[in-house]
């Protein structure tokens, strides 16, 4: 590839490099910014390593390079790339790092290579745990982006490149630093940077993992930073309607412009991701998970006008069931007044052999048999693996009038939505 004069002198200085310190150079892994990375081997302990080399042009640049050694070197976490060594070679600085044999998340941020939503959430969950650990150690990464999050051969997350990390409580040097598309508003405005900066950047990564689109696209840095400060990203469900609504809510909170409206810690971010994973993976809830179940159910659109205490009462008294794809939940003509709320998944409503509708997260079915006391008018089949809340009418009848009112209000809202959808489908 062609190099600028500076780049050429940089690479010329590393020509014919065979060894550095106690490390044998095997091959170049990549280059970017002001650094080049080699695959090396420790001659003494026979361990493969990544060697990141930089040639600072000033004392300040050299100091910044070793910030990575100081900040990442004090971190020991399974989801953070380990720093083994730091030294100087001629007029170059180098770090010896854990070698991760796997791709970065950049590979999975394009429309034709997206991971399943549950896997994407698992990755962000692991990144949250790693960043929470770093924050508790007093380190803010400040440059979270897809290319700085790797997956090893086993699929484990590894966060790398603490090159512009800041120690919490220390004042950052003047000037905007970070990668524009993943900067927080406070970074873009050269404001005070805290741990919520990493949360915003990770929200950008999650948005991209789920949609294949950048949250704040633009042709130049000015356009991107203007959008980060002033504009909301395109709704994820508009790009990818099959995503559960809870994921859009979580990403929306991570991307809040106001730091106070964002998650206040990566652990709080992770807690909500854990709730979402329950629905995405179809895990059967255990008794000791009641709090997480309540949180998840409360996120479902049908229950969002209920209080958390009311949802807890419903969870305590009713069954949450998993229905595998292809199973019939209710059959046309059967006599039953049990009704269901879809917590996750999609179901087909069939009248005879004709599919008349598809319903998903937050919708209800079977309520007409309960309200009118009539036989089922259609068959409902799981179109994907589903998690449903099964509600017995005898339970509803014992509820307070205020909760019964919420049920009937939401039944009516669902009915209006269906009629509106049917009208549009028939051109009415």
Q: Taking Cα atoms as reference points, which of 228, 247, 271, 257 lies closest to residue 132?
A: 271
Question: What is the helix, strand, coil percentage profile of the chain, to 5?
Answer: 45, 20, 35
Q: Cα-flanking dihedrals φ and ψ of residue 36, to 5°?
A: -130, 145
Contacts (Cβ under 8 Å, ≥6 apart) of 121 = 206, 247, 273, 276, 277, 280
Instruction: Give the count of alpha carbons within 13 A of 193, CB side only.
Output: 32
Q: Active-site residue 143, yes or no?
A: yes
Burial 273-285 (b: 16+ CB within 10 A, else e): bbbbbbbbbbeeb
Specify whether the CB–CB gap between 146 and 105 falls below 8 A: yes
297's tokens = 């159910």
261's tokens = 């409206």
Which of 143, 198, 295, 337 does the annotation list as catalytic? Answer: 143
Give the integer Cα–Cα distance in Å for 205 and 29: 23
Give the integer Cα–Cα distance in Å for 373 and 364: 16
| Helices assigned H by DSSP within 142-244 | 185-188, 195-211, 221-230, 236-239
Write out the catalytic residue numbers.
143
């Amino acid at each position: 590839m062609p190099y600028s004069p500076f780049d050429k002198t940089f690479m010329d200085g590393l020509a014919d490099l065979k060894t550095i310190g106690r490390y044998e150079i095997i091959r170049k892994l990549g280059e970017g910014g002001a650094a080049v990375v080699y695959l090396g081997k420790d001659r003494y302990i026979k361990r493969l390593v990544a060697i990141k080399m930089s040639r600072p042009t000033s004392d300040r640049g050299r100091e910044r390079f070793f910030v990575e050694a100081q900040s990442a070197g004090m971190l020991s976490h399974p989801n953070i790339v380990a720093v083994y060594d730091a030294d100087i070679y001629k007029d170059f600085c180098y770090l010896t790092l854990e070698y991760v044999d796997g791709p970065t998340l950049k590979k999975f941020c394009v429309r034709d290579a997206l991971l399943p939503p549950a896997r994407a959430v698992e990755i962000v969950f692991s990144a949250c745990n790693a960043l929470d650990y770093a924050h508790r150690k007093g380190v803010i990464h400040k440059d979270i982006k897809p290319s700085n999050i790797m997956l090893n051969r086993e699929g484990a997350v590894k966060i790398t490149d603490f090159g512009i990390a800041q120690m919490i409580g220390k004042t950052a040097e003047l000037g905007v630093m970070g990668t524009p598309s993943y900067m927080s508003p406070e970074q873009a405005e050269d404001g005070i940077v805290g741990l919520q900066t990493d949360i915003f950047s990770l929200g950008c990564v999650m948005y991209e993992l789920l949609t294949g689109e950048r949250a704040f696209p633009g042709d130049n840095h000015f356009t991107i930073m203007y959008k980060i400060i002033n504009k909301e990203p395109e709704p994820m469900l508009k790009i990818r309607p099959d995503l559960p609504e809870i994921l859009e809510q979580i990403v929306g909170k991570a991307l809040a412009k106001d730091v106070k409206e964002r998650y206040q810690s990566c652990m709080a971010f992770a807690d909500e991701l854990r709730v979402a994973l329950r629905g995405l993976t179809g895990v059967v809830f255990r008794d000791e998970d009641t709090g997480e179940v309540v949180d998840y159910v409360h996120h479902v659109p049908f229950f969002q006008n209920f209080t958390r205490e009311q949802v807890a009462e419903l969870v305590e008294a009713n069954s949450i069931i998993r229905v595998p794809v292809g199973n019939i939940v209710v059959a046309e003509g059967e006599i039953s007044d049990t009704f269901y709320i879809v917590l996750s998944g999609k179901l087909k409503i069939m009248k005879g052999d004709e599919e008349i509708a598809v319903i998903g997260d937050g919708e209800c079915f079977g309520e007409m048999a309960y309200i009118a006391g009539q036989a089922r008018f259609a068959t409902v089949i799981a179109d994907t693996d589903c998690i449903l809340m099964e509600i017995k009418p005898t339970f509803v009848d014992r509820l307070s009038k205020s909760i019964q009112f919420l049920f009937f209000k939401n039944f009516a809202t669902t009915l209006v939505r269906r009629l509106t959808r049917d009208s549009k489908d028939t051109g009415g």
